[in-house]
Chain A
Amino acid sequence: MTKTQEQTASFMVRFHQQIFEENGESKIQWRGKISHVQDGDEKRFSDFNDALTFMQQKLAELTEEATRYETSEKQESIIDKSLSMWKTIKNVGPKVLRDTLKDPKKQFTHFQDEIQDKINIFGEEISEKVQMNEWRNASRSDFNKIQNQIESLSTEIKNLSTKMDAIQKKS
C-alpha cells in the first residue's frame, strides 16, 4: 500500500501586496511565492495562474509516481482525469480569489448560501425518492430510480457550472 505521505502534497503560499500611486491612479500589485513542502521547490508569481500551474505540475508528478506500475493506458487515463479537475479549478480559481480579496465576507456568505442551497435541494430529493427500506430488496426498477436520481444530480451540477460561467463572463 502506498503511504499517506506519498499521496500528499502540501503547499505554502505567500502573498505580498504593494499599493502605490501611478499616473494619479491608485494601484495594487500582488507578489507571491508558492512552496511545495515535500520537495522544497519554490516558484514566485505575480499572476496567480502561475501558482496554479506550479501546483498542477507537482500533483501530476505525484499521480505519475503513484501509478508508475500501472499500464501506460491506465496511467494516462488517471493523469487525464486528474488534469481535467484542474482545468475547472484553473478557470474558477482566479475569479474566486479576486472576489474573495475584494470582499471576503460577501464571498464567504455567497459560498455558504450556494452550499446550503445544494444541500437543501439534494436533501429533499433523496429523502423523497430514496427510502432506506426499499434498498433491502433492490430490484431493476430501484436501480432505474437511482439512475434518475443521479441524472437529476448531474443536471444540478450542470446548472451550477452554467451559473459559474455566467458569473465569470460578467467579470
Chain B
Amino acid sequence: MSDLHQQLQELQTFQENATIRIETLGSFCVWRNQQKIEAKEWGRDKTVQLLQYFISNRQRNALHKEKIMDGLWEDWNDRDFKVALHGIHKALEPHRPSRTEPEYILRQGVSYQIDLEKVWVDVEALERYIIVGNEAFNHDNSVAKTAYKTAINLYKGAYLPNRVYEDWTSEEREKTQLLVLGAYITLAEILIDENPLESIRLAQKALAIDNTWEDAYRIQMQAYIVKGNRPQAIKTYMKCEVILEEEYGISPLPETKKLLKEIESIQ
C-alpha cells in the first residue's frame, strides 16, 4: 500500500473514531462520542466563541491567555476567561474527575491550544485531505480523486457562517474557500474525459463560490465539448465574458478566447 494511500486511510479512521468531532463548515456543531452537544450544554455564547477561537488559531503555537482575551472580549478580566474555558471543559469532558488535566484543550503555563491529535475538526481534515490529493496528483490519480472528493464533501459551506462579522474568523474562511476552490478545479480537470458531467458540476460549485473564477468557465467549455454540446460551450464563454466585464471591466484571457475559437471551428 502506498504511503499516500495509508495517510488517506488514517485520516478516514480518525474521522470515524475521534471522541470529539467538530464541524465548522456551513454550521457549527460538536459531537461527543457520536452524540451532538446541545446548545444548552454550552451555557453562554462566549464559551462557544472561545472554542471557535481555539479552532481558528489551531495551527499557531499555544496562544497566550491575554491575546485570546484581547481577541474576544471588549473589556476583559480573568474571570470571564476562566468561566468560558471551564464551559468548554465541561461540555467536552462532563465526567472528568476533578484535579485531573483536561484532555482536549492543552495548557502550557498561561497559553492554550486545542489538541488536534485528539479532536477531529472538519477544516483541519479538509486541508489534510487536500495535501494528500496534491501530493498524489499526477502520480496516483485514484488516491488524488478520493482525497479531493472527501475534502469537497466536508465543505458544507463557509467557515463559521454565524461569525462572518468577527475578524478573527476571516483568515480561516478565506483560506478554506481558496483550498476548496482549488480542489473543485483540480478534480474537475482530472475528470473532464472520464466524467464530463461531474466536471461541469464541480466547476459550477466553484463558480457558486466565486463567479469570476475563469478556470472554471474553461473547464465547463471543455467538458461540454466532450459531451458534444457545442452551443452550451459557447454559451458558457459568453457568460464568462459578461461576468468579467461586470465585475472587473476586463475581457477573458487569451487562453479562454483561443478555446472559444477552437470550439467555433468545430464542424
Which residues of A line the B interface, CB within 8 A?
3-5, 8, 10, 12, 14, 18, 20-22, 29, 31, 33, 35, 37-40, 44-46
Residues on A with C-beta less than 8 A from B74 are 3-5
Q: Which of B164, B174, B178 contacts A40 (CB 8 A)?
A: B164
Is B174 within 8 A of A14, CB to CB? Answer: yes
Which B205-236 residues sit within 8 Å CB-CB of chain A?
Answer: 210, 212, 214
Chain A, interface SS category: strand
Is B248 within 8 A of A45, CB to CB? Answer: yes
Is B212 within 8 A of A44, CB to CB? Answer: yes
A37 with B254, Cβ < 8 A, contacts A12-B170, A44-B247, A44-B248 known: no
A145 to B214 CA separation, bound complex (whole angstroms): 62
Residues on B with C-beta less than 8 A from A37 are 164-167, 170
Residues on B with C-beta less than 8 A from A46 are 248-250
A35 to B174 CA separation, bound complex (whole angstroms): 10
Residues on A with C-beta less than 8 A from B254 are 20-22
Chain B min CB distance to A117 (Å): 32
* Smallest Cβ-Cβ distance to B70: which chain A residue: A4
Residues on B with C-beta less than 8 A from A8 are 167
A38 to B247 CA separation, bound complex (whole angstroms): 22
A20 to B167 CA separation, bound complex (whole angstroms): 35
- Binary A-proximity of B52-95 (CB < 8 A = 1, otherwise 0): 00000000000000000000001000000000000000000000
Is A12 within 8 A of B174, CB to CB? Answer: yes
- What 9 A-B pairs come out closest when comparing CB atoms? A10-B167, A46-B248, A44-B247, A37-B167, A12-B170, A22-B254, A37-B170, A20-B253, A46-B250
Is A18 within 8 A of B170, CB to CB? Answer: no
Chain A min CB distance to B210 (Å): 8
Chain B min CB distance to A110 (Å): 27
B255 in contact (CB, < 8 A) = yes
Residues on A with C-beta less than 8 A from B250 are 29, 31, 46
Is A39 within 8 A of B255, CB to CB? Answer: no
- Binary A-proximity of B159-172 (CB < 8 A = 1, otherwise 0): 00000111100110
13 contacts between A and B (CB under 8 A): A5-B74, A12-B171, A18-B214, A20-B253, A31-B248, A31-B250, A37-B164, A37-B165, A37-B166, A39-B165, A44-B247, A44-B248, A45-B248
Chain A min CB distance to B229 (Å): 27
Residues on A with C-beta less than 8 A from B248 are 31, 44-46
Is A38 within 8 A of B174, CB to CB? Answer: no
A38 to B166 CA separation, bound complex (whole angstroms): 7
* Smallest Cβ-Cβ distance to A35: which chain B residue: B170
* Smallest Cβ-Cβ distance to B174: which chain A residue: A12
Chain A min CB distance to B248 (Å): 4
Which B21-59 residues sit within 8 Å CB-CB of chain A?
Answer: none
Is B212 within 8 A of A31, CB to CB? Answer: yes
Is B255 within 8 A of A20, CB to CB? Answer: yes
* Smallest Cβ-Cβ distance to B214: which chain A residue: A18
Residues on A with C-beta less than 8 A from B171 are 12
A23 to B178 CA separation, bound complex (whole angstroms): 31
Residues on B with C-beta less than 8 A from A38 are 165, 167
A31 to B212 CA separation, bound complex (whole angstroms): 9
- Binary A-proximity of B165-188 (CB < 8 A = 1, otherwise 0): 111001100100010000000000
